[in-house]
Amino acid sequence: MEIRSMHFVDRVRERLDDPELQRNLKRTRGRNAAARAASLGGLDDFDAVRARATEIRASVLRDLDLWLERFEREATARGATVLWAHDGDEACRLIIDIARRHDVRSVVKSKSMVSEEAGLNAALEAAGIRPVETDLGEYILQINDNEPPSHIIMPVIHKSREQVTELFARVHGTEPKTDIEALTREARERLRPAFLGADMGLSGGNFLVAETGSVAIVTNEGNGRLCTTMPRVHVALTGIEKVIPTLDDLATLLRILPRSATGQAISNYVSLLTGTKHDGDADGPAHMYFVLVDGGRADLVGSDFEPMLRCIRCGACMNHCPVYQTVGGHAYGWVYTGPMGSVLTPLFQGIGNARDLPQAATLCNQCGVVCPVSIPLPDLMRKLREKQVERGMRPWTERLAMRAWAWAAARPWAYSACARAAVRYLCWLAGGRASIPVMGLAPGWTSQRDFPAPAARTFRDMYARQRRGRAS
């Protein structure tokens, strides 16, 4: 997917001014957060499960090369082929090669964020192979001229039912249906023949289990099951960081992934897929491939950003982020949105291509608190900010202001003179009122709220006066 994160500020402005989007975002705001909170009661000790989940992910990353080798050995022994790709482009080439080898004309896809990273749909189409997205949300986006998703779990959270009604009637040429159940039914009926006729199923992978060389896929709709059961060929496309050691670890992570994502105790379908169909099996693919993509992940191992690789893509951070909840996912300009996107996008796509994302946070740490694998997201955003400063990527105005601040902060007389001048200016703006309605030099600050007027004297002045009083 082409990155547009460099235009973050403009994109935010457009989205704040889009009344329809704002209405849609408001409709679902806070719902997932509430569902998550309600579901945690089902675990006797959430903190203990979270600590264990964190340790499982961290322990694999400590020895990722060896775990990957073990996974590869088990998967290969059970009939799968494991392929590796440096980046998305290479992954697309590998998948097109597989498709050609098996004479594949159409591909049904269940959700894969790595395929969004790689721009796989466009690559398949260019090679004359028809990709069909089957997750309802992803399907809606695909038929809407390949619109990008705005949330990793709920890709069309930014759309209203009216927009879907209009889209289905236009694209399917059917009577407009306003009922959500009828819309879902219409998509089901459109997609069923695609499942039954497809030559290849492409899935992502929530986890790769080293013990059995399997991929675990979590869905509610059942499209993941159809994509990996009906076609002759199954390709699981995923990042190299997704390995977990054992099936017991899968059980632990499944206690925490659906709860963090949608507040469910478990998703409707969890499939553990291992190798190809056996002799006598009536169903299942005859060929199974894993395509494991690096895409910037290997370079994070052993760095300050390694904890980000623990991410299990639940979306809890964005569901709790005040910035994401206000601007929606498209503003972020790439595949991943919200706090996890603000960390991953600059790391995968270059710090210079996503300069505003680590700044687009109040560092309130709601994301850090809810993350089921304890990723310190605000710390990582702060580290990315530090990198921008080190590399001289901040605007000259900000650099100048920081230098002036540093100069004054090191000289008490200058600092107190500046503070006194600022207080006098603010008191003049307040004109005797308790708050300042329009901030003279920075009117943007007061566009949504008043600024409290400062006390007439600075703390330092008051302190000095008090000491003088005590001395006399």
Question: Which one of residues 210, 237, 311, 381 is an interface residue with another protein (CB under 8 A)?
Answer: 210
How near is the Cβ of 41 to another protein at its closest, in Å?
10
Using rule CB under 8 A, residue 374 touches another protein: no
How near is the Cβ of 141 to another protein at its closest, in Å?
10
Query: What CA–CA distance (Å, rounded) separates 352 from 354?
Result: 6
Minimum CB distance to another protein smaller for 149 or for 378: 149
* Amino acid at the residue 152: I
Task: Return the half-sphere exposure (C-beta side, CA atoms, 13 A cut-off) of residue 431.
Answer: 6
Query: What CA–CA distance (Å, rounded) separates 332 from 354?
Result: 9
Q: What is the dihedral of CA 130, 134, 138, 140, to 10 degrees?
A: 90
Q: Please give the C-alpha separations between residue 172 and each of 4, 56, 82, 83, 357, in angstroms, as whole numbers.
A: 30, 46, 38, 37, 37
Rule CB under 8 A: which of 4-63 touch another protein? 27-28, 31-32, 42-45, 48-49, 52-53, 56, 62-63
Minimum CB distance to another protein smaller for 96 or for 250: 250
Burial string for 28-51 (b: 16+ CB within 10 Å, else e) reads: eeeebbeebeebbeeeeebeebbe
* Amino acid at the residue 268: N
Minimum CB distance to another protein smaller for 73 or for 399: 73
Rule CB under 8 A: which of 235-264 touch another protein? 240, 245-252, 254-255, 262
Query: What CA–CA distance (Å, rounded) separates 278 from 90?
Result: 30
Minimum CB distance to another protein smaller for 357 or for 371: 371
Minimum CB distance to another protein smaller for 128 or for 197: 197
Question: Which one of residues 13, 26, 101, 185 is an interface residue with another protein (CB under 8 A)?
Answer: 185
How near is the Cβ of 352 to another protein at its closest, in Å?
22
Question: Which one of residues 112, 221, 341, 380 is an interface residue with another protein (CB under 8 A)?
Answer: 221
Rule CB under 8 A: which of 152-171 touch another protein? 154-157, 159-161, 164
**Cβ of 422: how many Cβ atoms within 10 Å?**
12
Using rule CB under 8 A, residue 132 touches another protein: no
For another protein, how many residues bind (rule: CB under 8 A)? 102
Which helix (H) or strand (E) element contains residue 258? Answer: helix 247-262
Rule CB under 8 A: which of 90-109 touch another protein? 90
How near is the Cβ of 372 to another protein at its closest, in Å?
12
Q: Please give the C-alpha separations between residue 103 and each of 86, 91, 96, 173, 229, in angstroms, as whole numbers.
A: 25, 18, 10, 31, 18
Helices (H), 1-146: 8-16, 19-28, 31-39, 46-62, 64-77, 88-101, 113-118, 120-126, 136-143
How near is the Cβ of 330 to another protein at its closest, in Å?
16
Q: Please give the C-alpha separations between residue 285 and each of 7, 17, 102, 236, 437, in angstroms, as whole numbers.
A: 43, 48, 12, 12, 67
Minimum CB distance to another protein smaller for 111 or for 355: 111
Using rule CB under 8 A, residue 135 touches another protein: yes
Rule CB under 8 A: which of 67-86 touch another protein? 67-70, 78, 83-86
How near is the Cβ of 94 to another protein at its closest, in Å?
9
How near is the Cβ of 183 to another protein at its closest, in Å?
6
Rule CB under 8 A: which of 285-344 touch another protein? 292, 294, 298-299, 301-303
Helices (H), 305-358: 316-319, 322-327, 338-349
Question: Which one of residues 5, 150, 223, 337 is an interface residue with another protein (CB under 8 A)?
Answer: 223
How near is the Cβ of 390 to another protein at its closest, in Å?
20
User: Which 8-state DSSP code applies to residue 278?
Assistant: P
How near is the Cβ of 212 to another protein at its closest, in Å?
6
